[in-house]
Structure 1
């Protein structure tokens, strides 16, 4: 008997087919393991076994103790052992632990590397003839190209093209049914489908492009089911001295959207039962890591199911099987993204949706850190300049927001006649109820339990669901409908398990099929769609965000310093993030009573040195002001100190005022696509250079050292001196138009001129990349974080940010632990 041990389900799947082709009289073949082998220590039975083949992805460490025990058992029983790693090359450690001649191991390894049922069949024949001295005969390995086209599908040059990428190993194992079905669904939606297989999307040796790239050119969208990111960190990012991009992917040269279609490592049943949706492993491999490449996160559409109970091989065999509605969702998103490159700008329709925080009219359209009204006007102008046919909103942002607020109800479930007359659109009740009936039963039951039978009562007038907004032709501006109604609308807004009203669901349905949107832009952080009930990742059709948004492409300008909330939209609403700058930061300074306290402190210092007899009077004035301004309470001082102790309190006050005055506060709001200028630029550079930026030292620390000031013990006066000196140096650079020669030898100032200011000047990428995404182009990836907290490497903005910074991995602690484990 020949025993095959492997920790890869695809190889066992291929082995099953290989065994069926073996000639009569061939020694029995049994298998052990699968993807779960790494988590168990049980050894296979070796009764009657004459040869053991072990194939371990990740090498001996993946199954170390059981492997060593198996090897000892084989040596003791005179059983031949051939051990192989999971990569194409020879695993020297495992080869050395084999008990047959090295040449036999090397030749056998070539069959594994070539893969597939045919090669595995001849591997078994090779082992039978060379180790067991049988005479069945064998052929040399046949190598499948590293990349190629799967099948022969029709091509129409007038249609958009979607390329679907799968692993070469799936082709070798015959595990291609989900990909073939996905291609069928893409074709049924009016696009060309091209199935491409490859070993990896990572760059080749010496940085050469992946072999698959030649088969992906000409596609309008790439749907990839492969896991690992293909990106790399370039030298010279914003942590260094020279300019450069922080992260690039080999697929960037295609300049098309890349959709990650998750192929899960577990069965449908486990995913369906988990509120979290995907397993931690699937989130890591199929979501978080692909985000580094700027991939759009689509649904999980295929799951691993048992297709053979193992009567023949002795181990159950699994293969991937597609879930029909998830497969259709992936196909729909892919084709809608591909269409963006083919719809002329003059015919394209882009919906702009603003957030609606409940209960407050003045917060309609509010977005954290973003001047939404000004950004809206600029975005509409940019769309018009890009060829979109739309009416200009004009220059009065307040009038536009008042018009939107007048047409919206955010505290009552019905529109007034005047509001109905201002409506941007209507969806017939019969259309909504027919669509609602197609949704999964669990979603329908939950919605009707909360809001009554379809279509509900919210904004239903004359047998139509009515929506507020402004129709400009090629674009419509609308406020996202209320999340719900009740005595405490803010609590309703944040209730995670409350279904959305019928009107909310109908709004997105109307955007899609009623108004005819080709894409949606949600302007600013954050709306409610991505927070609606459903799984955390790998959403099902019963998850509200998936049901509401459907296949519509979603672009989402979002503050770069809030990756946690932006990631929800990426993972729960297939959003393409367009990150934008935080507001310009400035120094808080002092004012009113605080400024008067500061002046009294200055006077106290002079009197103390020159005329101590006047100290009691100054102390009394200072104490009275501390009480009336309530600073005494903030400082935790209940009574005026004795004269001998007053100097200690003065030092305490000075430190407190220094911290308040030196704090960074927002100096306004950011306008999408507009970088800081003039004083705002100086304030922004000052704020960013307060902290070291990787290897670039803090400007404030450098200046303080030159002035002989210890910042950790500095009072208000010394801190002000340092701040003024830093500002003077930056003003001099600004007067010289930020040229490097004006920076002299100062490392930080050189970085400011060569990297920081050029990146801030690229803030226009926020609009540029949004327009590019709407035109069907790739939005580049970038890291996220706060530029003023040592995170200037997130610049320039306008990127599809990811929440995990690969340049910060491993952390210092993780590195120390790893070193300790290795030692």
Structure 2
């Protein structure tokens, strides 16, 4: 059996064990979300009195031997271990059971947090910290953002040394307008950068990119659309099925009617038509306020650029399912993958390779030009449009 080194931006299939090679620290944090690892890495670097920290990508702890190695070399010799698990205890059964058992025997507090905002009794039962501390840590991660990442680390330090507790987690809107350089903003902040009378193009993406450190492709896309003479409207959402997010989109579409929509969220709502109740949740991108405009699917690939460039299949099977096949159910048209996951840097302090979305300029430009062309076509009088049938 071969023992592999962890590769940032990759998803370990569990067929081969991976040695993270980490040493003990005050706090060990395990998560499959690259955005969370990046946010905590950045927060630690900016804190004057941060606890020593190890960040571990859960996707590299799928093989039983990977789990055993990390427990023996790092976790049981650290002071506090926190795992954030999306999908419940069944998703990482062996890992949770082994960490919980060995950390209990070693007297190391263990916190098993849900990877979303839904309570999970099974994960709570595996945890060995007071409920107050558990809920406080969970709230910081649920809300996300730089301030809450710093608050999370400050709270772990309190759990270790008993000093005064930091402020509680600061809520982050479930959906809203984002603007590069301004962060969470409003429609007026976007309009300050618009051209009078230019086509409006909403760019819809996951709230998790605001919570973590994944906004590089969004910033590049906004700048590229401005160069094309478009009025970009970057909007973050919890999901297209979230009622608050849907209401936010409706309000924004009503106030600033779109000409083309670029969507970076994955999966499908359930139907390309707003009225198909039997097909699942209503499709907010087909609501009346969207004015029937074309919706393009923009892919933020979870695979690396090298894998895409050198492979024979282009995008990975996972990316094709989440960002190509399923979005077609909602009637979205594929544009391009504009960014890929890759190692932004190796964080020596946390002994973890930090992966992040990195935009690819030519793909960003292509999508911006595509949006501009479709916006012009939409506003052209029908008599001047040319129709082509491509087989």
With normalisation by structure 1, the TM-score equals: 0.40
Which of 219, 222, 226 lines up with 1:187 in the alignment? 226
Aligned partner of 2:177 among 149, 163, 188: 149
For the residues of structure 1 that align with 2:85 and 2:247, how far apart are their CA atoms? 25
Structure with bigger strand share is 2
Judged with a 3 Å threshold, the aligned counterparts in structure 2 of structure 1 residues 114 and 147 are, in CA distance, closer, same or farther, namely same
Mark the CA change 1:8 to 1:103 in structure 2 (over 3 Å): closer, same or farther: same
Q: Which has the higher contact order (CA 8 A, sep 6+)?
A: 2
The correspondence of residues 429-508 of structure 1 with structure 2, limited to 5 A, is none
Instruction: Specify the SS of the correspondent of 1:269.
Output: helix
The one of 166, 169, 180 aligned to 2:205: 166
The match for 2:127 is 98
Tell me the residue number matched to 1:121. Answer: 150
1:30 aligns with 2:59: no
Equivalences, count: 344
Q: CA deviation at 1:93?
A: 1.3
The residue that corresponds to 1:756 in the other structure is: none
Secondary structure of residue in 2 paired with 1:155: coil
For the Cα contact (< 8 Å) 1:90–1:106, is it kept in 2? Answer: no
CA distance in 2, matches of 1:41, 1:166: 36
Aligned to 1:275, the other structure's residue is in SS state: coil
- Checking the alignment, whether the CA contact within 8 Å between 1:6 and 1:32 is kept in structure 2 is yes
- Are 1:59 and 2:107 an aligned pair? no
Runs of 4+ in 1 over 6 A off after TM superposition: none
Mapping 1:346-365, distance limit 5 Å: 346=383, 348-352=384-388
Find the counterpart in structure 2 of residue 221 from structure 1: 260
| Cα contact 1:261–1:297 (8 A) shared by 2 | yes
SS at match of 1:351: coil
Kindly provide the CA deviation profile for residues 337-372 of structure 1, in whole angstroms up to 9, marking residues without a partner as x: 2222222234x33133xxxxxxxxxxxxxxxxxxxx
Q: Does 1:326 align with 2:363?
A: yes
CA contact (8 A) 2:270 2:279 kept: no
Paired residue for 1:139? 167
Gaps of 5+ in 1: 238-243, 353-520, 528-823
Secondary structure of 2:378's counterpart equals: coil
Q: Residue by residue, what CA displacement relative to the aligned partner does 1:578-633 show, whole Å, maximum 9, x if unpaired?
A: xxxxxxxxxxxxxxxxxxxxxxxxxxxxxxxxxxxxxxxxxxxxxxxxxxxxxxxx
Provide, for residues 706-764 of structure 1, a one-character-per-residue CA deviation record: whole Å limited to 9, x for no partner.
xxxxxxxxxxxxxxxxxxxxxxxxxxxxxxxxxxxxxxxxxxxxxxxxxxxxxxxxxxx
CA distance in 1, matches of 2:60, 2:365: 30
Q: CA RMSD in A?
A: 2.4
Quick one: distance in 2 between partners of 1:175 and 1:211?
A: 22
**Which of 338, 349, 355 lines up with 1:312 in the alignment?**
349
Q: CA deviation at 1:65?
A: 0.1
* In the alignment, structure 1 residue 7 sits paired with structure 2 residue 46: no
Residue by residue over 1:617-655, the C-alpha shift from the partner in whole angstroms, topping out at 9 and shown as x without a partner, is xxxxxxxxxxxxxxxxxxxxxxxxxxxxxxxxxxxxxxx
Structure 2 residue aligned with 1:262: 299
2:215 to 173, 176, 187: 176
Measure, in 2, the Cα distance between the counterparts of 1:137 and 1:175.
29
**How far does residue 47 in structure 1 lie from its aligned partner after superposition?**
5.3
Match of 1:231 among 247, 270, 282: 270
Q: Residues 172-571 of structure 1 correspond to what in structure 2 (within 5 A)?
A: 172-204=211-243, 209-217=246-254, 218-231=257-270, 246=279, 248-253=282-287, 254=290, 255-346=292-383, 348-352=384-388, 521-522=389-390, 527=391
Highest Rg: 1 or 2? 1
| Equivalent-residue separation in structure 1 for 2:98 and 2:310 (angstroms) | 37
In structure 2, what is the Cα distance between the partners aligned to 1:118 and 1:302?
26
Change (3 A) 1:259 1:38: farther
State the 1:245 CA deviation.
Answer: 7.2
**Could you state the TM-score of these two structures normalised by the residue count of structure 2?**
0.82
Distance change in 2, residues 1:174/1:216 (3 Å): farther
TM-superposition CA deviations, 1:215-246 (whole Å, max 9, x none):
34411111111102123599x98xxxxxx875
